Structure 1
Amino acid sequence: MAAVNTDSRMLNNLISSIKRWRKPADKGPRVIARNDHNISRRDISRAALTVMKRLQEAGYQAYIVGGGVRDLMLSGHPKDFDIATDATPEQAKELFRGARIVGRRFRILHARIGREVIEVTTFRGHHADGEAHEAKQSEHGMLLRDNVYGDLESDAIRRDFTVNALYYTTNGFEIHDYTGGVEDIEKRLIRMIGSPVTRYKEDPVRMLRAVRFAAKLDFAIESQTEAPLEELGPLLRNIAPARLFDEILKLLMGGHGERTFELMRRYRLWQHLFPDNAAQIEGNTAALELSRLALRNTDKRIHADMRVTPAFLYAALLWPAVNTEQQKLIAKGIPAAPALAQAAQKITSLQLAHTAIPKRFSIPMREIWDLQQRLPQRGGSRAQRLMEHPRFRAAYDFLLLREESGEIDGNLGKWWTDFQQGDDEQRQQMVRMLQTSGGSGRRSRNSRGGRHRKPRAEQ
């Protein structure tokens, strides 16, 4: 994403400034003074500054933390700013009209300032410091509830990666670094804070976050942080499908989907999110290429500020399995249309066991699949009616990817391109040419649902 692409000149300046400060002999953070870092208040949202100011005026500590600090140091322009404070959610809520506390596993305050919602979290503490009912783990070591509060240092140690454990305060305009995150930004490394095995078991989604940040920032994953990924990958199957769906949106819809996909395959995590796709792309060049092209196309659209939808991406990732299942059913004598419906239902149901697919996406996804059978049927007024279908454009784009991947041959995609670009007379001529060439696109017997009928003598 352009917002986080590193400007080499500014990064070199940052590295030079880092070398000018030294960690004090006593314990505590490395404190980077205003003159030794590149963060400016002009790059921080007014809403975030307002939240910090209000907390500070009430006597609480307030820091911008996490990705916002990281991206600012990389000369990016973060979209979101999170605030960490020593105020409890209830104490912070009193300072903001209309604020609300959300979450059970982690209780967080959403403070609305104008049109922006700023996430405010209370400093986290060590599990051993909390009451039994405040910190609860599953048999696999996964945290089920974690509302143990602490101080700034314990909060930093509790965060996932060093590059996400940097704190910026307007009280002196300093950066506080307890875990070596600034040094890892210099080295371009994603490094887990603490034991990677323990931290992944606490929350297996951290494995996905490691890959996502590596892809987004073009950083390497530090050796000990990456070592357990393949072995602990099966723990992802313990995560609720709804949460994994949200994580997939971050993984694949952030502008770096193709690189994320390749890293997920490298660490053998992909098979725990999309097992049917993972099975299909092994040894099936067209299926692998279709997945890559769909992700590449999504990345390009995001960078061009064009609309994207998970429905299209899910359609592409699940299509190879749907297509394979449909062909098996056709070989058993089931007509193409009902075979596609049965295959779509089966593969979608299998996927739902791993990741949720809200109906607002699953319905368009299945319409894109259905139109793949209808796009060749262009005789009479069918072509014009198809072009008026609300999913036509997505289905057309999907058809082009299928042809580009090598899954199907022919010039159907070019025909539809020319048809869209032509005027009414040109479109009528194109349809007439199909009819005279015997390619009117009438449905074959095998594509009909229900009983077979003899073809009519005339169109």
Structure 2
Amino acid sequence: MLTRQQEALPLQPVVLERDQHGISRRQISENALKVLYRLNKSGFEAYLVGGGVRDLLLGRQPKDFDIATSATPEQVKQLFSNSRLVGRRFRLAHILFGRDIIEVATFRGHHHQVNNSKDMSSQSSQGMLLRDNVYGTIEEDAERRDFSVNALYYNIADFSVVGFSNGLADLEARRLELIGDPETRYREDPVRMIRAVRFAAKLGLTISPRTEAPIRELAPLLSDIPAARLFEETLKLLLAGYGLETYRTLQHYGLFAPLFPEAAEVIGQGDNNYGRFLELALTNTDERIAQDMRVTPAFLYAALLWGPVEIRTQQFMHEGGLSYYDAFMMAMDEVLGRQVKSVAIPRRFSSVVRDIWMLQDRLTRRSGKRPHRLLEHPKFRAGYDFLLLRAELNPQLKELAEWWTEFQLANPVDRQQLSRHAQARHNQFGDESSKPRKRPRRRPRKKKEV
């Protein structure tokens, strides 16, 4: 029997006949079945593949149903008028059913093979695959899968499940094994390292010793991955309902710093309070997802980068003699500017991150009509929730958080009373609204020329 260290053909496939597994077509989306049936009737091999099969075998309901086939992308496009071809590195067909997208990939061959493909694969000097449109057989496709638990195929022709590279045995043992030589596979695509962490946390799998061995050494390779791609990957990492465990595992393998260097630097300086705040935010996010409540990436990114913003603000004030507002604005720009070089945060989210941060100062201003106007702010709720998180670790903010909770629930008369009390008292949290406002100097009127 071949060992896992050998880069040879995958282990003899294990086939589970229809009565040997629990997958039912009722669990597969109607649109995915339509694609599978049409490909099969047109003479092509067609399989539900990867995570969809894995999750169904684990008793989970998949979010996506991906398909692997012997048809080329161009042949798929000819079969489906509602399709489009996407991707340069990996040429794929997307079959569109309204908002539902079924992704169809042609069986991949080995990137060192020569075939008739017009777009041959190429690699960087570090071993990373830049182009990979070499097609092959289902056996070769299985070898090209990243983890054995993803080398699983549901055959629409006879409703059997085919597992390669010990995938079925590894799934039963709750073990995450990389197919092929780990260092080579990670160099081909460094994102596989964070995918290993994601699958381990999400599925409760143990990363095998050989699979985890090169990760710490190769973690810096993530800096070669486009920042836009890493944004999508971090969403999957931290917004899948297992954010806290994923974060701790990323730290364990040295993968957090390449993704969030600003945050890692603060935590590395021994700022345990900020580390606890970040874990609290991740726990809160996980709980909201478990309760099917809405979550936004902006809130989590605001938490991830709050420590660096606070530290840089104080540094700008101390070193440059700037006011808090000016220092804070500069700190926001600098921290976000550095972060997007690693993980590109789209403007639609970074603008909300800024709103959440700026609301933290505005929430301290509780006199007059300010609180009433602030309630109308479109991001008030996100800013308020952020304040609640901060107050859990900072006793000085507890009164402020409780005041805003009471203010939201109060009737108009009680709200006015709360505002008057806030204006009268000396706010120990630096409430600038309690300070007397200076009247603007009136400019002398210009004399009319005679």
TM over 0.5: yes
Corresponding residue SS for 2:79: coil
TM, length-normalised to structure 2: 0.91
Give the counterpart of 1:441 among 431, 436, 441: 431
Pairing 1:237-386 to 2, within 5 Å after superposition: 237-282=223-268, 283-332=270-319, 333-386=321-374
Residues in 2 aligned to 1:375 and 1:258: alpha-carbon distance in whole angstroms? 28
**119 and 133 in structure 1: CA distance in 2 versus 1, 3 angstrom threshold:** closer
Question: What displacement does 1:128 show?
Answer: 2.3
Deviations 1:108-146 (A, max 9, x none): 000123542100000000122235951100000000000
* Aligned partner letter, 1:323: E
Instruction: Specify the alignment match of 1:18 in structure 2.
Output: none
Corresponding residue SS for 1:109: strand
Instruction: Specify the alignment match of 2:446 in structure 1.
Output: none
RMSD after superposition: 1.9
Corresponding residue SS for 2:432: coil
**47 and 371 in structure 1: CA distance in 2 versus 1, 3 angstrom threshold:** same
Pairing 1:2-13 to 2, within 5 Å after superposition: none
Give the counterpart of 2:32 among 45, 48, 61: 48
Which one is further off, 131-140 or 205-214? Answer: 131-140
Instruction: Specify the alignment match of 2:205 in structure 1.
Output: 219
Question: What displacement does 1:276 show?
Answer: 1.1
* Aligned partner letter, 1:170: I
**454 and 35 in structure 1: CA distance in 2 versus 1, 3 angstrom threshold:** closer
Residues in 1 aligned to 2:133 and 2:395: alpha-carbon distance in whole angstroms? 51
* Aligned partner letter, 1:214: A
Deviations 1:376-425 (A, max 9, x none): 11110111111111111101111111111338544111110011111111
Instruction: Specify the alignment match of 2:391 in structure 1.
Output: 403
**370 and 163 in structure 1: CA distance in 2 versus 1, 3 angstrom threshold:** same
Percent of aligned pairs with the same residue? 51
**188 and 422 in structure 1: CA distance in 2 versus 1, 3 angstrom threshold:** same
Question: What displacement does 1:235 show?
Answer: 0.2
Instruction: Specify the alignment match of 1:127 in structure 2.
Output: 111
Question: What displacement does 1:259 show?
Answer: 0.8
Pairing 1:52-71 to 2, within 5 Å after superposition: 52-71=36-55
Question: What displacement does 1:212 show?
Answer: 0.4
Corresponding residue SS for 2:81: coil
* Aligned partner letter, 2:143: I
**437 and 361 in structure 1: CA distance in 2 versus 1, 3 angstrom threshold:** same
Residues in 2 aligned to 1:133 and 1:99: alpha-carbon distance in whole angstroms? 20
Does 1:179 find its partner at 2:158?
no
Residues in 2 aligned to 1:393 and 1:27: alpha-carbon distance in whole angstroms? 54
Matched-pair contact (CA < 8 Å) for 1:96–1:112:
no
Instruction: Specify the alignment match of 2:194 in structure 1.
Output: 208
Does 1:151 find its partner at 2:137?
yes
Matched-pair contact (CA < 8 Å) for 2:11–2:165:
no
Question: What displacement does 1:443 show?
Answer: 4.4
Give the counterpart of 2:381 among 379, 393, 397: 393
Deviations 1:74-110 (A, max 9, x none): 0110011001000000011111112000000000000
* Aligned partner letter, 1:47: N
Does 1:38 find its partner at 2:22?
yes
Residues in 2 aligned to 1:443 and 1:314: alpha-carbon distance in whole angstroms? 29
Corresponding residue SS for 2:153: strand
Question: What displacement does 1:455 show?
Answer: 4.4
**287 and 192 in structure 1: CA distance in 2 versus 1, 3 angstrom threshold:** same
Residues in 1 aligned to 2:396 and 2:178: alpha-carbon distance in whole angstroms? 44
Residues in 2 aligned to 1:119 and 1:133: alpha-carbon distance in whole angstroms? 20
Residues in 1 aligned to 2:360 and 2:187: alpha-carbon distance in whole angstroms? 42
Deviations 1:165-218 (A, max 9, x none): 100012211011121111011110111000010000000000010000001001
Question: What displacement does 1:36 show?
Answer: 1.0
Which one is further off, 110-119 or 57-66? Answer: 110-119
**360 and 408 in structure 1: CA distance in 2 versus 1, 3 angstrom threshold:** farther
> Would you identify which runs of 4 or more consecutive aligned residues in structure 1 move more than 3 Å?
406-410, 438-445, 453-456
Corresponding residue SS for 1:281: helix
Matched-pair contact (CA < 8 Å) for 1:47–1:114:
no
Deviations 1:399-458 (A, max 9, x none): 11111133854411111001111111111111111223234933488xxxxxxx9746xx
Residues in 1 aligned to 2:167 and 2:40: alpha-carbon distance in whole angstroms? 25
> Which consecutive unaligned segments of at least 5 residues does structure 1 have?
1-25, 446-452
**Alignment: residue pair count:** 425
Does 1:86 find its partner at 2:43?
no
Does 1:72 find its partner at 2:56?
yes
Question: What displacement does 1:331 show?
Answer: 2.0
Corresponding residue SS for 1:31: strand
**114 and 431 in structure 1: CA distance in 2 versus 1, 3 angstrom threshold:** closer
